Amino acid sequence: MGHGKLKRFAENETFRCLLQPDASQVLDRREGVSGRGLPLSLKDHDIKGRWNEHMFGAPQPIVLELGCGRGEYTIDLSLRDPSYNYIGVDIKGARLWRGAKYAEEQQLPNVAFLRTRIEFITAFFAPGEVSDIWITFPDPQMSSENSRLTSPMFLERYRKFLRSGGVVRLKTDSRFLHEYTKAVCEANSLEVIACTDDLYANPGIEGGGALYEVKTHYEKMFLEQGFKITYLAFRLEHEGPLVNPSSFDAAYWRAAEAPRTTNLRGGTID
């Protein structure tokens, strides 16, 4: 590990706006009758249901950005609309450092960051505690359906804490993930409130504004390469278990996206 990352990790420990829980705080391994540990399960973190009380300057609706990377989207949204509290979530501390440092230096009262795996997200938020969710430029996980952040497995997690009527917003360069998420919405009769496979060719969606003007580091890179940005917003209102889509042609969309995968998703962007 480079000296720069070690320095960032050390500085992260000083940021009040950044929560970095130890795995033992959310993972529960109980002993069976034989003395062997049973399979891991989640237990609630102390912050669950208390974000407004402990992390923000005022009690306001909470918006999550999942996979926030450097946190620039979270920061920009918070500056544009201070009537909401924003939490950026990512597992990579070296990236979170940038957004957390800015929020700390500028003393932003409505920004926080959480370093954790998104698989553990239900340990941190109580029912109805989150108003809306942004998912910005995640790995499309073409070979693993359950690893996609818009898969029914993940959506089941989100709806445990998303308020009634809350919106999930997916902004991505990946047509594969965009079409997959559309298929998930169709299979589960989820209400789609906005959808486009070329966001910047349709400047009036949801009134424009921040949707077009706020860009992540990755988004800027993809736009410079000439790739289209897709957008999908839907309400996570559904009775009963969510199901995987049977109509999605993964092979077709995987093949269609191969050049993009080779050029820009080779692990060189940091």
Given the residues 28, 139, 197, 198, the one annotated as active site? 139
| Phi, psi of 53, deg, nearest 5 | -75, -40
Beta-strand pair 41-42/62-66: unpaired
Q: Is 139 a catalytic residue?
A: yes
d(CA 174, CA 143): 14
To which residue do tokens 């890179």 refer?
Answer: 221
69: left (phi over 0), alpha (psi -120 to 50) or beta: left
CB 70 within 8 A of CB 217: yes
Structure tokens at 194: 């906005």
Strand, helix or coil for residue 145: helix
Q: Could you write out the three-class secondary structure of 198-265?
A: CHHHCCCHHHCCHHHHCCCHHHHHHHHCCCCCEEEEEECCCCCCCCCCCCCCHHHHHHHCHHHHHHHC
Closest alpha carbon to 78 in 97, 95, 66, 61: 61
Q: Which residues are catalytic?
A: 139
